[in-house]
Structure 1
Amino acid sequence: MAPEILLDMPYDTTADYFSLGLIIYRMAVGKHPYFRIGMTTKKMKRIATESTVKYPKNMDPALVDLIKRFLEKSPDLRYQLVSEIRNHPFIRNIDWAYLETGTAAPITYLRPYLEPPVHQRIELADIMSMGQGFLLTSEEQELFGQFSYTSERLRLQM
């Protein structure tokens, strides 16, 4: 959540840019840039308004710059920083006109989800291990062919 929302201040669509920055950071790094499970609301507000985000040393500098623009704490400055975002080096190769036509095919592949029977006992250890060591097939990996960043955790598994 954008700092202005956490602080119960008036907000506008620039809060959505902050949320997009959070999503991109989580996709790239694998964790939230500010919050951890068990934090109090008071601590969340303080961290979101005062702390700085830490980026992996090996992260693409263009990606770091993109995320920093979205995660700017001042809504007015955030608006200025993202006003020409389509020309940003990290995303400049996106065909925006094509996307705006609404004809771009969405990525529709979803990994099958098996719902357990209602009355079956499930052990916590089984839940915690789901997805660990699970690599994408080459067909699934092709869906991400244009991405230029791979998390350190995934690189270690490869």
Structure 2
Amino acid sequence: MNIFGDTKTSDCVGTYIYMAPEIFLQKPYNTAVDWFSAGVVLYEMAIGGHPFYKGKLHWTTIMGKVNDEPVFPKKLDLQLKAIIKGLLDKSPESRQKFVDNIRDHPFFTEINWTDIEEARACPPFQLPLPEVMTLSKMNPVPCFSKLMRLPIAEEDQQLFCGFTFASDGWKVIKPMPKPVKPHRRTFCSIVRDALHRIWRRIKRWK
């Protein structure tokens, strides 16, 4: 923002796979970094991969931007290859000089820049229009108030026990039965169970 003429900045911001090498080298830069990002995007669109991707480790891709040159398929269009190489130039000065007259590049021979600026240009490929949906084809959607009036299933009634509010449109919520407390064992019952177990073992021994 607000970088014009010879003005430069040194903030390190952006997505690292699209950032220009001068940003990683902590050098002051201008709008030439945006043209480098455009070159990365154009490379991805044309070839289907990143020009400097070296794996999941960030620093390997960064070092590739600083030191390596992009690899191009042999059958790639020469004009397309030339414009990508110009945008991915390591030198920001050479890159900026390259884009000064980028509209005159052979790659853009068929582009009418006046139509593009005045929003009159049509894209070379357009998606087919979707089928027009009429009200007669749309299924009626129940309103929220109707959905709230739906009764709760019997098995779900107990989930709402204890709530301080329940809609009047719902079924009557039945309270959950109180859990039956296990009978507290006395000393006599413990002795009796022990004697029964001993008696059963004596019978087995016979």
Query: Shorter-chain TM-score: which interval?
Result: 0.5 to 0.7
- Unaligned 5+ runs, structure 1: 113-158
- Larger mean CA deviation between 94-103 and 24-33 belongs to 94-103
The residue that corresponds to 2:81 in the other structure is 64
Task: Please tell me the root mean square deviation across aligned C-alpha atoms, in Å.
Answer: 2.1
The residue that corresponds to 2:40 in the other structure is 22
Q: Tell me by how many angstroms 1:6 deviates.
A: 2.1
What residue identity is the alignment partner of 2:67?
A: E
Tell me how far apart the structure 2 counterparts of residues 16 and 40 of structure 1 sit (CA, whole Å).
20
The residue that corresponds to 1:49 in the other structure is 66
Contact 2:54 / 2:64 at 8 angstroms: preserved in 1?
Answer: no
Secondary structure of the 1:12 match is coil
What residue identity is the alignment partner of 1:9?
A: K
The residue that corresponds to 1:84 in the other structure is 101
Question: Higher Cα Rg: structure 1 or 2?
Answer: 2
Tell me how far apart the structure 1 counterparts of residues 22 and 127 of structure 2 sit (CA, whole Å).
36
Secondary structure of the 2:80 match is helix
Q: State TM-score, norm by structure 2.
A: 0.49
- Larger mean CA deviation between 26-35 and 4-13 belongs to 4-13
1:94 maps to which of 106, 111, 117: 111
Moved over 3 A (4+): 103-110
Count residues with an aligned counterpart.
Answer: 110
Point out which structure has higher relative CO (alpha carbons under 8 A, 6+ apart): 1
- Unaligned 5+ runs, structure 2: 1-18, 131-206
Tell me how far apart the structure 1 counterparts of residues 118 and 52 of structure 2 sit (CA, whole Å).
36
CA pair 59-40 structure 1, distance change in 2 beyond 3 A: same
